[in-house]
């Protein structure tokens, strides 16, 4: 990354609070370096009480765009001039473009999910899918499944069943998708539900470094041969849950491809350029193996 800072350099960033370790600065700065784009991508620690002022600052300082992480993905909707169709339905924004003072919000997580699951569309269409979790990532996954993959039914599993129930009702109303059921995360009772699903997707941080021994079920019989287990966790590259599923003959997919794909869509929105995703994926893979 070039260290030269001039008034012509495009400034992008990430807003979150507190700012934790994120791969976003590496991904975007490395992509800009490869493509020879004069830009810098910086992390900004923005408490919720400062969010409105931060948006004024973005416009005043001509920051061209930024990604949004917790806890702002939903709260930021109030301060935007326009939001995309997918962000409106998901009710969550992770990318904002500053178009000459007009702040436009997008949800590129949905593009990451779409890219990750394209090779498995025949496994999803007309079949049952289980979603573990009920947060913003779960909403992005459910939206993408309904919009692009046409599953027969969706089963939402969460530690607090009421949150899963709320999500079920939301998508019945917002996308007119009736075949959704909600469950409490109680692994022994879920074995028949999970084994009846062609695809299981974990949208929670369970198993993320450093808590790599965590998983939502240690009952191996919850998985069956030929089933797809997709874990949105990308660090480690292979989670404990992925190992359990693989040992039962399931196909496993980690979250790194989705991480890069959603970042690539954000990068395109920011710069109008295509991110060198394959090279970024390779470099991140090597980094995470260390």
CB-based contacts of 93: which residues, under 8 Å, 6+ apart?
Answer: 68, 73, 74, 76, 77, 80, 83, 87, 105, 106, 107
Mean pLDDT computed over 39-67 = 97
Report pLDDT for 290. 83
Mean pLDDT computed over 25-36 = 98
Mean pLDDT computed over 182-188 = 98
Which of these, 264, 263, 258, 254, lies nearest to 289 by C-alpha position? Answer: 254
Pick the range with the lowest mean pLDDT from 19-23, 196-200, 228-232.
19-23
Angle between helices 109-117 and 256-271 (to 10 degrees): 130
Catalytic residue among 9, 52, 64, 73: 73
Report pLDDT for 12. 98
Helix (H, G, I), strand (E, B) or coil at 54: helix
* Active-site residue flag, 73: yes
Report pLDDT for 5. 65
Report pLDDT for 167. 97
Contact criterion met (CB below 8 Å) for 195 and 226: no
pLDDT for 63 beyond 90:
yes
Whole-number mean pLDDT of the chain?
A: 96
Report pLDDT for 54. 97
94-132, pLDDT tens digit by residue?
999 999 999 999 999 999 999 999 999 999 999 999 999
Report pLDDT for 1. 47
Contact criterion met (CB below 8 Å) for 204 and 215: no
CB-based contacts of 290: which residues, under 8 Å, 6+ apart?
Answer: none
147-162, pLDDT tens digit by residue?
999 999 999 999 999 9
Report pLDDT for 86. 97
Confidence of residue 21 (pLDDT cuts 50, 70, 90): confident
Mean pLDDT computed over 91-95 = 97
For the chain, give the percent of residues with pLDDT over 90.
Answer: 96
pTM for the structure as a whole: 0.95
Contact criterion met (CB below 8 Å) for 269 and 234: no
Rounded Cα distance between 155 and 75, Å, is 27
pLDDT for 194 beyond 50:
yes
Which of these, 213, 194, 186, 176, lies nearest to 89 by C-alpha position? Answer: 176
pLDDT for 53 beyond 60:
yes
273-290, pLDDT tens digit by residue?
999 999 999 999 999 998
Helices (H), 63-199: 85-90, 109-117, 121-124, 136-144, 161-174, 187-195
Mean pLDDT computed over 125-146 = 97
Tokens of 35: 């493509």
Give the chain's domains with CATH numbers.
Answer: 10-107+262-289 (3.40.50.10860), 111-254 (3.40.50.720)
């Amino acid at each position: 990354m070039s260290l030269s800072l001039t008034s012509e350099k495009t400034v992008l960033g990430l807003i979150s609070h507190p700012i934790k370790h994120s791969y976003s600065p590496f991904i975007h700065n490395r992509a800009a370096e490869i493509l020879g784009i004069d830009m810098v991508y910086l992390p900004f620690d923005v408490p919720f009480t400062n969010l409105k002022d931060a948006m004024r600052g973005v416009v005043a300082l001509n920051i061209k765009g930024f990604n949004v992480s917790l806890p702002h993905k939903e709260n930021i909707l109030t301060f935007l001039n326009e939001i995309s169709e997918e962000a409106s339905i998901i009710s969550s924004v992770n990318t904002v473009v500053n178009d000459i003072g007009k702040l436009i919000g997008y949800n590129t997580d949905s593009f990451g999910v779409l890219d990750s699951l394209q090779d498995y569309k025949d496994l999803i269409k007309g079949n049952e899918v289980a979603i573990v979790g009920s947060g913003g990532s779960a909403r992005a996954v459910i939206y993408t499944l309904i919009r692009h993959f046409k599953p027969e039914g969706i089963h939402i599993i969460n530690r607090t069943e009421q949150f899963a129930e709320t999500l079920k009702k939301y998508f019945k109303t917002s996308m007119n998708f009736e075949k959704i059921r909600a469950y409490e995360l109680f692994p022994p009772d879920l074995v028949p539900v999970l084994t009846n699903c062609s695809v299981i997707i974990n949208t929670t941080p369970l198993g993320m470094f450093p808590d790599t021994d965590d998983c939502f079920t240690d009952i191996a019989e919850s998985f069956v041969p030929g089933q797809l287990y997709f874990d949105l966790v990308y660090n480690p590259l292979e989670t404990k849950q992925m190992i359990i599923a693989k040992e039962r003959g399931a196909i496993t997919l980690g979250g790194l491809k989705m991480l890069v794909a959603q970042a690539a869509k954000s990068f395109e929105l920011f710069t109008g350029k295509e991110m060198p995703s394959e090279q970024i994926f390779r470099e991140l893979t090597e980094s995470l193996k260390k």
